[in-house]
Structure 1
Amino acid sequence: MRERREGEDDKVAFPELFFDLVFVFSLIQLSHTLAGHYSLMGALEALLMILAVWWVWIFTTWVTNWLDPDRMPVRAMLFALMFGALLLSTAINDAFGDKALLFAISYVAMQVGRSLFTVYAMHGHSPDNARDFLRITCWLILSGVFWIAGALIGGEAQLFIWIAALTIEYVSPAVGFRVPGLGRSEFDDWDVLGAHMAERCALFVLICLGETILVTGRTLAEMEVTPLVFVLAVSSFGSTVTMWWIYFRFGQERAAAQIESDESPGEVARTIFTYAHIPVVAGIILCAVADEFVLAHPHGAIDLKTASAIIGGPIVFLAGNVWIKSSVAPGLSVSHLAGIGLLVLAAPLAFVVEPHVLLIISFIILVIVAVWEYLTLKSVR
């Protein structure tokens, strides 16, 4: 099986786009689960689900960074992963209940199966990459023991065992997937197609933003049209558009260019795409939950869950963008940090304003961030 090459092969292929479709359902399940079980424990469980779904997706993206999805065996692998992701997604709502084992088995089968396939696909023409994925497989098998054990044990212990499983997986890239007898991976030697990785992650962010539009549209369709509902529709949709602008206008292309020109592209790609996109994705999902809360109950006193979603979603989103942009350009994004500060200052308003007012305020702050960054970077060009 041939690998991707620079140039024409670094574009996202149709099988990859088809693979992404199942994650639309995953994100819908995640936002519904978080909205329906919005508490400290529910948020922790939802965060674990988000991290697991992201890890499945980003690991597959790394694989298709090297393997050509237009080759039939790679396509078959992607289709098998799609079915696994479909099963995984159906289990999200009850992953800490009756469907724990379905979630765990689907997840482990996808992670370990994909890595073993990659070892097989690369062993003949790229032994170094095959050895890297053999190391990765060892780590995934280790974490898989915890996933299955947590599902079988259940109860209060399940969450902590699954946290241990995710910790193993998230720590593994940071230590180079070191395995006794196999050594560790050197990310300086990883050949990364920066344009491909950047486009893949950008498409996932688009899926997340699209999910917020679905939530807004579905909720509005069940409501009577009034001036307030129209204003809320503008605020919700406007927030989605503004988040698109903040992420795509100055961040995504710079990330691709930085990886293409960096002497250690694997190291930069690991930071930007494997880790730094997590708060971006989580923040967008939280914003979708906030829209659902406010559109359903725009009046009255603001409870803690609504306030935390309205303020917390944009904060987490902006923090992720700070991480990405500071990784590809010197210094931190002042506009983003100012936006986080304004959102923190706006938090006490939850005690004196109604939910729809706080949502409008958060939207205005996002617009301020977008305009500030645009004018600043335009002036230095």
Structure 2
Amino acid sequence: MATERVVDGRSMRPRGRAEKHRAATPLELFFDLCFVVAVAQAGSQLAHALAGGQLRHGILGYLVVFFGIWWAWMNFTWFASAYDTDDVPYRIATFVQIAGALILAAGVPRAFADGDYRITVTGYVVMRVALVGQWLRAAASNDGAHRTVALRYAAGVALVQVYWVLWMLDIPGQAKLATFVVGMVAELAVPVFAERPAATAWHPGHIAERYGCFTLIVLGESVSAATIAVQSAVDEHEALGQLWPIAAGGLLICFSAWWIYFARSVEGHLSGNRQAFVWGYGHYLVFLSAAAIGAGLEVAVEHAVGKAHVAAHTATLAVTVPAAVYLFTVWALHSRHTKRGAALWVLPVSAVVVLFSPTVLVAGVVCAASVAVGLLIHRLQGEDVRR
């Protein structure tokens, strides 16, 4: 855990990139645990839509809602890496952002069911307005380029929130998706605009740990969702023969997903803004697919007991598609920077095989085999087989 820091009560100075023993704080971990409630709601609604045969509606709704979840989480994480003072005002602002995440989560079912994003957007705006306050505090505590960057962030984030309020109130249903893309691009443009004068002082080790912690929590939520689905099916149908291959395959996928992500530290790759931002933005697909694996397992379970209105192949794809996306994305962000020789190609090949796997159990076996092959190659290369 992080060591206690003493601050002067008013200062929100940039923290050093070379700071020793920098680790995620209890407040950050609490933030993640509360934030995953929104992830769970998005995954649950995705599973419900897919099981009901509403593939396009479910996937689009999931992509839209998950963008808000991911972007708010990521902005908090990078700000904390640069300016976490862990004093009373900082903690209160973080609690406000947690409250916003819970409001967002409460609105997810309505967003999926009726396309009504008012509650979801309200929660998102609450989180973002709290972050604006944090950036203004950073601006007041600094001068020069750091002050300019903080003011640019505050202005950019605030302006985009005005857009979201108008989008929530005045945009007709048929234009929702196109105008959402406009707002999404505006959100993504804020860091590009804000960091032109200088880069914020994020910490490579802290960022790598924060992303790893959230990946871990999202994978845990997928296991939880699948477990609840299996329990419900067993209680109602006692269909153990149909369920055990799905449960076994799902566990193998989740266990392998953990092993693959944490096989090697990526901290050394995060040497500059360009590498770190590509890595950080790419985690949208990591988090998205990790949560969708749990939703897919729910669909597979519901199909096995005759409750899903989709074909068997579609139910299997609900698991294999996000699993393949996860494997390929983790390879693109992590493995290709830390492996060499034949080990470099294990994950992309496995992703293709998983994508075309006929059952969830086969997909799980392929994922486990990819871990085993990777360990064997590392042993032959004379490396630590644990990594």
TM-score (norm 2): 0.83
State whether residues 149 and 161 of structure 1, in contact with CA within 8 Å, keep that contact through their aligned partners in structure 2.
Answer: no
Name 2:151's counterpart in structure 1. Answer: 134
State whether residues 279 and 316 of structure 1, in contact with CA within 8 Å, keep that contact through their aligned partners in structure 2.
Answer: yes
Deviations 1:261-283 (A, max 9, x none): x3xx222221112x121111111
Deviations 1:119-144 (A, max 9, x none): 32343235433322322233323432
Structure 2 counterpart SS, 1:214: helix
Number of matched residues? Answer: 355
State whether residues 208 and 284 of structure 1, in contact with CA within 8 Å, keep that contact through their aligned partners in structure 2.
Answer: yes
Give distance in 1, aligned partners of 2:314 and 2:160: 32
Give distance in 2, aligned partners of 1:103 and 1:119: 25
Structure 2 counterpart SS, 1:249: coil
Please report how far the alpha carbon of residue 9 of structure 1 lies from its aligned counterpart in structure 2 after TM superposition. Answer: 5.9
Unaligned runs of 5+ in 1: 350-357
Q: 1:285-364 residue pairs with structure 2 within 5 A?
A: 285-298=291-304, 302-303=311-312, 305-325=314-334, 328-329=337-338, 333-346=344-357, 349=358, 358-364=359-365
Name 2:276's counterpart in structure 1. Answer: 269
Name 2:377's counterpart in structure 1. Answer: 376
Please report how far the alpha carbon of residue 94 of structure 1 lies from its aligned counterpart in structure 2 after TM superposition. Answer: 1.4
Give distance in 1, aligned partners of 2:239 and 2:314: 26
Residues 276 and 373 of structure 1, relative CA distance in 2, 3 Å threshold: farther
1:102 aligns with 2:119: yes
Give distance in 2, aligned partners of 1:146 and 1:162: 10
Instruction: Give the aligned CA root-mean-square deviation in angstroms.
Output: 2.5
Q: 1:208-219 residue pairs with structure 2 within 5 A?
A: 208-219=218-229
Give distance in 1, aligned partners of 2:132 and 2:371: 40
Name 1:232's counterpart in structure 2. Answer: 246
1:53 aligns with 2:63: no
Residues 319 and 87 of structure 1, relative CA distance in 2, 3 Å threshold: same
Please report how far the alpha carbon of residue 89 of structure 1 lies from its aligned counterpart in structure 2 after TM superposition. Answer: 1.0
Residues 36 and 231 of structure 1, relative CA distance in 2, 3 Å threshold: closer
Please report how far the alpha carbon of residue 186 of structure 1 lies from its aligned counterpart in structure 2 after TM superposition. Answer: 4.2
Give distance in 2, aligned partners of 1:102 and 1:117: 23
Please report how far the alpha carbon of residue 12 of structure 1 lies from its aligned counterpart in structure 2 after TM superposition. Answer: 0.8
State whether residues 12 and 137 of structure 2, in contact with CA within 8 Å, keep that contact through their aligned partners in structure 1.
Answer: no
State whether residues 261 and 330 of structure 2, in contact with CA within 8 Å, keep that contact through their aligned partners in structure 1.
Answer: yes
State whether residues 110 and 116 of structure 2, in contact with CA within 8 Å, keep that contact through their aligned partners in structure 1.
Answer: yes
State whether residues 152 and 193 of structure 2, in contact with CA within 8 Å, keep that contact through their aligned partners in structure 1.
Answer: yes
Name 1:202's counterpart in structure 2. Answer: 212
Q: 1:23-34 residue pairs with structure 2 within 5 A?
A: 23-34=35-46
Please report how far the alpha carbon of residue 333 of structure 1 lies from its aligned counterpart in structure 2 after TM superposition. Answer: 3.2
Give distance in 1, aligned partners of 2:198 and 2:317: 40
Structure 1 counterpart SS, 2:304: coil
State whether residues 135 and 154 of structure 2, in contact with CA within 8 Å, keep that contact through their aligned partners in structure 1.
Answer: no
1:13 aligns with 2:25: yes
State whether residues 157 and 187 of structure 2, in contact with CA within 8 Å, keep that contact through their aligned partners in structure 1.
Answer: yes
Give distance in 1, aligned partners of 2:283 and 2:143: 28
Please report how far the alpha carbon of residue 196 of structure 1 lies from its aligned counterpart in structure 2 after TM superposition. Answer: 0.7
Q: Residue 258 of structure 1 aligns to which amino acid in structure 2? A: H
Residues 98 and 326 of structure 1, relative CA distance in 2, 3 Å threshold: closer
Identity of aligned residues (%): 22
Please report how far the alpha carbon of residue 345 of structure 1 lies from its aligned counterpart in structure 2 after TM superposition. Answer: 4.0
State whether residues 119 and 131 of structure 1, in contact with CA within 8 Å, keep that contact through their aligned partners in structure 2.
Answer: no
Q: Residue 276 of structure 1 aligns to which amino acid in structure 2? A: G
Give distance in 2, aligned partners of 1:92 and 1:127: 41
Residues 204 and 126 of structure 1, relative CA distance in 2, 3 Å threshold: farther
Give distance in 1, aligned partners of 2:66 and 2:349: 27
Segment of structure 1 superposing worse, 122-131 or 310-319: 122-131
Name 1:352's counterpart in structure 2. Answer: none
Give distance in 2, aligned partners of 1:110 and 1:278: 18
Unaligned runs of 5+ in 2: 1-10
Give distance in 1, aligned partners of 2:21 and 2:355: 44
Q: Residue 266 of structure 1 aligns to which amino acid in structure 2? A: N
Q: 1:86-101 residue pairs with structure 2 within 5 A?
A: 86-95=102-111, 97=114, 99-101=116-118
Please report how far the alpha carbon of residue 369 of structure 1 lies from its aligned counterpart in structure 2 after TM superposition. Answer: 1.9
Give distance in 1, aligned partners of 2:313 and 2:57: 14
TM-score (norm 1): 0.85
